[in-house]
A = this chain, B = another copy of it.
Amino acid sequence: MPQNTDSVRAGPAQRKAIILLSGGMDSATTGAIAREEGYLLYALTVDYGQRHYRELEAAKRVAEFLGVAEHIILKVDLTAFGKSALTDTIDVPKDRPIAEMPKEIPITYVPARNTVLLSLALAYAEARGAWDIFVGANAVDYSGYPDCRPEFISAFETMANLATKAGVEGTGRFRIHAPLLRLSKAEIIHRGLALGMNYGLTHTCYDPTPDGRACGRCDACQLRKKGFLEAGVPDPIPYAE
């Protein structure tokens, strides 16, 4: 009964959790799961030089929808390092067959992104007295990203408990929760809808049109559309094509 043990450890006050919110479907669903588990949510959105401010706007909408206690948007300009279609000037691939995506590490991979995001979440957690960090990492649809694998999440958790004053003083243990790790996109959608998530608030596209519609052709759009198709429910957002 880990759930009960945790409640006893934390005492009568509501347990706090940090949720990494990108504005996408996965982090929104993860936030809904954390809320369902009874945590008081502290949302962190890292603006690492993404191409579109629309992702940040979506994160704000989702944070409000989840009723978070605090939402910090932190600018960390990873474009200084370059080497990704999401932060550099390389073109985002379009119309690439889905079957080809997971076999390679995508050009949209941002070097050490989840390491950077989780490190910032850890700093935030320690400052707020939270022991739990929720991240929407997913090993199924994004199997090409090394920092979405269970062994990475586990190694980060080990490191986190050696890195911090809180971890060293032994008053608790940091836990990295990645509840979507082994779910398909369709399963994620079903889980989120069951928790009342409104996916119309989220943003997925790597390359939206000037009026804010999703392109429908980048890897992210294709995976999203396939997810809704397989889930058998309509996608509430408009697409350019």
Contact = CB atoms under 8 A, between A and B. Distances in A.
Nearest to A81: B127
A74 interface: yes
A81 B123 contact: yes
Give the number of copies in the complex. Answer: 2
A83 B152 CA distance: 28
A216 to B, nearest CB: 27
A24 B55 CA distance: 38
B83 A126 contact: yes
B146 A111 contact: no
Interface string A55-95: 00000000000000000101111101111000000000000
B82 A111 contact: no
Contacts of A76: 74-76, 120
A195 interface: no
Interface of A: 72, 74-78, 80-83, 105, 109-116, 118-120, 122-124, 126-128, 146-147, 149, 151-152, 155-156, 158-160, 162-165, 167-169
